Structure 1
Amino acid sequence: MDFDPVAYAIPVFIALILAELLWSRRGGARSAYEWRDTGTSLAIGLGSTVAGALTGGAVVSMLVAVHDLSPLAIGWAWWAWPLCFVLDDLAYYWFHRCAHRVRWFWASHVNHHSSQHYNLSTALRQSWTGFFALSFIFRLPLAAIGFEPGMILICGGINLVYQFWIHTEAVKRMPRWFEAVMNTPSHHRVHHAVNARYLDRNYAGTFIVWDKLFGTFAAEDDADRIRYGIVSQLGTFNVLYAVFHEWIGIARDVWRAPWRHKLSYLLREPGWSHDGSRETSDMIRQRWEREQAD
């Protein structure tokens, strides 16, 4: 089945970005948009589209290969669609959690968090190096248990389309029942925050229930104004630096590290160092908690 939900949603994305930009200029958060930052987001989005086109065939081939080797076959039954969507969202949760907790995956994902502004154009900051980072492995189990590769890709595309609208400050809170189950702008603002209380929280794609189930949920606190970006801000709007800076950092650390620590700079959490000269998100949060207790 040759259908890409993201491609069909692009005109809607553009229309919503223009509407949010108008809102920000007419009484909304004027600081939500900065033209150089938005230009960087659009350029990264274009690059990720090209990267996806170049590597998409290989991902499809691997899904097909795993599916063909599996003794299970679910087929295209109607009930398989919602089940596939829910399980794909669970797979996304674990991919996203690993993308923040394993530096190898973080190097591919970090560009999505690199903006210090939070608006719909930020959603376009998708990875150029996801295939290289092997991010697709999180969806292979779905093919192994019998879901059709086309179904997996369509459900993943719908999930990505859903996540677009939650990158905004224009929506404060959704109804309580919706906030309890679904990922929302409020929940995702927390995820993009660099405030100590919010670091590495709310990994959800569509359903926030995964974070509540696995202990990674944090509610937005209106008293703690959110600051966006990454712990060590880029300090530049250079597109190539935004995309590749963490890979460069990994290469530098692996080159300089003693042999027994080289692999740790790939697989440990971002911010880890063998000599304790840097801070991980856990260390930052623990320091903040001690300060709150004093």
Structure 2
Amino acid sequence: MPDFPNIILYAIPFFILAMLLELYVTTKQHIKAYEAKDAFSSIAMGLGNVFLGFASKALVLLVFFWIYEHFRLFTIPVAWWSFVLLFFVDDFSYYWFHRISHECRLFWASHVVHHSSEHYNLSTALRQTWSGGFYTFIFWLWLPLLGFHPAMILLQMSISLLYQFWIHTEAIDKMPKWFEAVFNTPSHHRVHHGSNPIYLDRNHAGILIIWDKLFGTFQPELKDEKVKYGLVTNIKTFNPIKIAFIEWWNMFKDAFTGKKSLKDRWLYLIKPPGWKHDGTGKISDDLREEWLKSVNNESSRSSVVEKN
């Protein structure tokens, strides 16, 4: 087995220094990026994720090795060109994992943790799930099946996670145009963390923004629509236990209480967040459509006033 380092553990001192630098820069820019309780909650979620990661990664390795040893279609060597290929297939896998995590409540129940902060800073990047690592790896199962060594896959997944740390900031406005066109950036990812209807479920990129542009989920950051961070309905707690599990509780409560058909109970697990069996719920597409209609109506009214 290739002996690759756990780069996330080695990066922890860098995370701390980067957050201190960001705090200094945003203070100079008069940006209130940090709130102490919120930041400590994010750090607590990150520490919990690292601790539980020892167990979840053991499970992932076990499953990956089982597929690799018994079912792989090819044997891809550990070489520079295979890492280049792995970079793209891993990022493609991440895009679909991330997108489905917004479109299916069963996956949203773990991913919502990362969106639960009403602030956007480098500590927000550390606000990671405690449960997702035990089942979201299914989006990567095709990689050991192709013949990528499990250790290579885990290393590339860590590289992707490490890349995404620096984009959680308001201290950087825009990167050069060529970079913005190809890669995920602070501007693109601010959109992803927005609760504004126009920004909901957009920019699911890991490293490359090209997937969002290819599959129709790209949304640029608008100058006249400041990003409002957090959830459509915020959880209003700094308690790490509640942050980690409150959506699981709400999902199971919706699915398994009250008078509902078996089909509706199942749909509460696989439909998007906001869906309700009685038709009273609104998913992100509904909220976006309402917002666009209101904007168009406002523009029409403004046009009439200007003509008069």
State the TM-score, normalizing by the size of structure 2: 0.93
Q: Secondary structure at the match of 2:249?
A: helix
Quick one: distance in 2 between partners of 1:181 and 1:126? Answer: 25
Q: How does 1:12-23 map to 2 (within 5 A)?
A: 12-23=14-25
Corresponding residue number in structure 1 for 2:162 = 161
Alignment size in residue pairs: 292
1:99 aligns with 2:101: yes
Quick one: distance in 2 between partners of 1:279 and 1:139? Answer: 31
| 8 A Cα contact 1:173 1:179, kept in partner | yes
Amino acid at match of 2:288: R
Q: What per-residue deviation string (whole Å, max 9, x for no partner) do you get for residues 20-56 of structure 1?
A: 1112223341x21000100110111111111111221
1:140 to partner: Cα distance: 1.0
Quick one: distance in 2 between partners of 1:276 and 1:167? Answer: 35
Q: What per-residue deviation string (whole Å, max 9, x for no partner) do you get for residues 43-72 of structure 1?
A: 111111111112211111111111112131
Amino acid at match of 1:291: S
| 8 A Cα contact 2:26 2:170, kept in partner | no
1:234 to partner: Cα distance: 0.9
Q: How does 1:4-153 map to 2 (within 5 A)?
A: 4-29=6-31, 31-69=32-70, 70-132=72-134, 134-153=135-154
Q: Secondary structure at the match of 2:229?
A: coil
Q: Equivalent pairs: percent with the same residue?
A: 47
| 8 A Cα contact 1:107 1:246, kept in partner | yes
Corresponding residue number in structure 1 for 2:283 = 280
Match of 2:273 among 265, 270, 274: 270
Gaps of 5+ in 1: none
Quick one: distance in 1 between partners of 2:261 and 2:232? Answer: 25
1:293 to partner: Cα distance: 2.1
| 8 A Cα contact 1:28 1:170, kept in partner | no
1:157 to partner: Cα distance: 0.5
| 8 A Cα contact 2:91 2:206, kept in partner | yes
1:255 to partner: Cα distance: 1.4
Q: Secondary structure at the match of 2:238?
A: coil
| 8 A Cα contact 2:166 2:186, kept in partner | yes
Q: Secondary structure at the match of 2:80?
A: coil
1:292 aligns with 2:295: yes
Mean CA deviation greater in 104-113 or 66-75: 66-75
Quick one: distance in 1 between partners of 2:242 and 2:261? Answer: 26
1:168 to partner: Cα distance: 0.1
Gaps of 5+ in 2: 298-308
| 8 A Cα contact 1:112 1:123, kept in partner | yes
Quick one: distance in 1 between partners of 2:34 and 2:108? Answer: 25
Amino acid at match of 1:172: D
Q: What per-residue deviation string (whole Å, max 9, x for no partner) do you get for residues 114-156 of structure 1?
A: 0000000000011100134x10101110110011111111111
| 8 A Cα contact 1:101 1:270, kept in partner | yes
Quick one: distance in 2 between partners of 1:73 and 1:27? Answer: 52
State the TM-score, normalizing by the size of structure 1: 0.97
Quick one: distance in 2 between partners of 1:203 and 1:118? Answer: 16
Quick one: distance in 1 between partners of 2:29 and 2:167? Answer: 20
1:80 to partner: Cα distance: 0.1
Amino acid at match of 1:117: H
Quick one: distance in 1 between partners of 2:243 and 2:121? Answer: 17
Corresponding residue number in structure 1 for 2:300 = none
Mean CA deviation greater in 253-262 or 269-278: 253-262
Quick one: distance in 1 between partners of 2:167 and 2:56? Answer: 27
Amino acid at match of 1:171: I
Quick one: distance in 2 between partners of 1:160 and 1:8? Answer: 13
Corresponding residue number in structure 2 for 1:184 = 185
| 8 A Cα contact 1:45 1:125, kept in partner | yes
Quick one: distance in 1 between partners of 2:114 and 2:74? Answer: 36
| 8 A Cα contact 1:167 1:188, kept in partner | yes
Q: How does 1:229-248 map to 2 (within 5 A)?
A: 229-248=230-249
Amino acid at match of 2:41: T
Amino acid at match of 1:95: F
Greater radius of gyration (CA): 2
1:258 to partner: Cα distance: 3.0
RMSD: 1.0
